[in-house]
Chain A
């Protein structure tokens, strides 16, 4: 049996009076690709953001390998959280590249500031990862000089350069023009083939089915149904899953 990379136990998240996540348990093995789907407002992003503690859970535990972000019901220690976050890469819907830095500088900033890698070496690493996403020739461009698809690929390179053990994608292609979606999906697909452990929140059902080992359907802050992609899409069990898949035209 392969190693467990992410363990989530009885995760709850509340914003004021609203309980958004109502008890989620999930284990993700090394190399596994998990796709999370579900209606808007069901808590997918919130869940993903709890996995790297960008959102501090109200209760429950999140572990990366054998390291907890915080003991249950205790306040997280910021330094510890920050250091554990280095093992979890995240790609946002809105790219969030640093607009004042070139592609290369975007990728190398954390290597220098956080990893304390000497500049010369950081440049080499950054170039390698830009190469990997097919943007070696764009390294001196600013985000404003890149297409959305290129920006998202730089953002992926930036996350990968920290050599995370897990990658989180929150609708990485939703902000892109349709003709730019393919190039980003291709990068994610290659990453999947290399054995990266990933959690993807996505609206691209076809892609989820192709890349994921497991599909998770969330609704109302809980996991309603999960399963292996082919079975999940051809033979959903839960009525809410069926309804959702019908609505998205699957």
Chain B
């Protein structure tokens, strides 16, 4: 085995990985906003009393949770545009849909995490004592107002730590987007390693970059958790 050349790998690879990190953080933030929106809507839908809506949502959750994130990313990137092109092509001959790897990544991550977040929202809403809703109603709140003004703000406090953990996990799961050609950390590392054969060095640096973000984030979530626990 050649001896390790961390110095070269560090100098050549790190700048491009830091750039990729910027992309990854942007991707994670956008995907997370989408996931939060989907998660809250699905949670409220499942807590509503509309039976047919519940059936549809449960089916949706089962499908998403029953398939790997990687498969979903591949599906959104390669299959979905084909299907849409085919359908639209019936009316608009020759139509072909293009989707960028970045957009596909946002959709894939957002939908996948949205399903998991919906469970966080649902259980955190259910964890709020029924008396809270009743107290608000007794003061003249409609159910909807009581939900948005009294119940959900309390449930968010319960949900924040798990939400933080999911965000942290999502940051790392962006690495799967390498499979759909997104120029994120892993794809860049792979390219560099195969050119230079600095395999150990390259992947170690990539791992460190994830750790540099992930560890402080995890720490911050724990501190937040402790603070939030004060007035519940």
Residues on A close to B: CB < 8 A? Answer: 52, 54, 78-79, 82-83, 85-86, 88-90, 92, 94, 96-100, 109-110, 113-114, 142-144, 155, 158-159, 162
* B131→A110 contact, CB < 8 A: no
Please indicate the chain A residues that have their CB under 8 angstroms from the CB of B140 in the complex: 82-83, 85-86, 110, 114, 162
Known: A99-B154, A100-B153, A113-B149. A162 touches B231 (CB 8 A): no
* A96→B153 contact, CB < 8 A: no
Q: Separation in Å of the A55 CB from the closest CB of chain B?
A: 10
Among B137, B138, B150, B230, the one with the most A-chain Cβ atoms within 10 Å of its Cβ is: B138
Chain B residues bordering chain A, tally (CB within 8 A) = 22
Please indicate the chain A residues that have their CB under 8 angstroms from the CB of B126 in the complex: none
* B232→A100 contact, CB < 8 A: yes
Select which of B132, B141, B149, B231 is within 8 A of A96 by beta carbon.
Answer: B132
Binary interface encoding of chain B residues 117-135 relative to chain A, with 1 for a CB under 8 A from any of its CBs, else 0: 0000000000001011011
* A82→B134 contact, CB < 8 A: no
Please indicate the chain B residues that have their CB under 8 angstroms from the CB of A142 in the complex: 230-231
Query: From DSSP, what is the main secondary structure of chain B's interface residues?
Result: helix
* A100→B157 contact, CB < 8 A: yes
* A109→B131 contact, CB < 8 A: no
Select which of A94, A99, A114, A144 is within 8 A of B139 by beta carbon.
Answer: A114
Q: Separation in Å of the B122 CB from the closest CB of chain A?
A: 19
**Interface contacts beyond A82-B145, A109-B150: sample of 17 additional A-B pairs, CB < 8 Å, sorted by A:** A54-B134, A79-B142, A82-B137, A82-B142, A85-B138, A85-B140, A89-B139, A94-B129, A96-B131, A96-B134, A96-B135, A99-B154, A100-B153, A100-B231, A143-B231, A144-B230, A159-B139
- The CA-CA distance from A83 to B141 in the complex, in Å, is 8
- The CA-CA distance from A12 to B141 in the complex, in Å, is 25
Binary interface encoding of chain B residues 61-75 relative to chain A, with 1 for a CB under 8 A from any of its CBs, else 0: 000000000000000
Known: A99-B154, A113-B145. A86 touches B132 (CB 8 A): no
Please indicate the chain A residues that have their CB under 8 angstroms from the CB of B142 in the complex: 78-79, 82
- The CA-CA distance from A96 to B138 in the complex, in Å, is 11
* B131→A98 contact, CB < 8 A: no
Binary interface encoding of chain B residues 24-60 relative to chain A, with 1 for a CB under 8 A from any of its CBs, else 0: 0000000000000000000000000000000000000
Please indicate the chain B residues that have their CB under 8 angstroms from the CB of A88 in the complex: 138
Does B204 interact with chain A (Cβ within 8 Å)?
Answer: no
Does B8 interact with chain A (Cβ within 8 Å)?
Answer: no
* A96→B150 contact, CB < 8 A: no
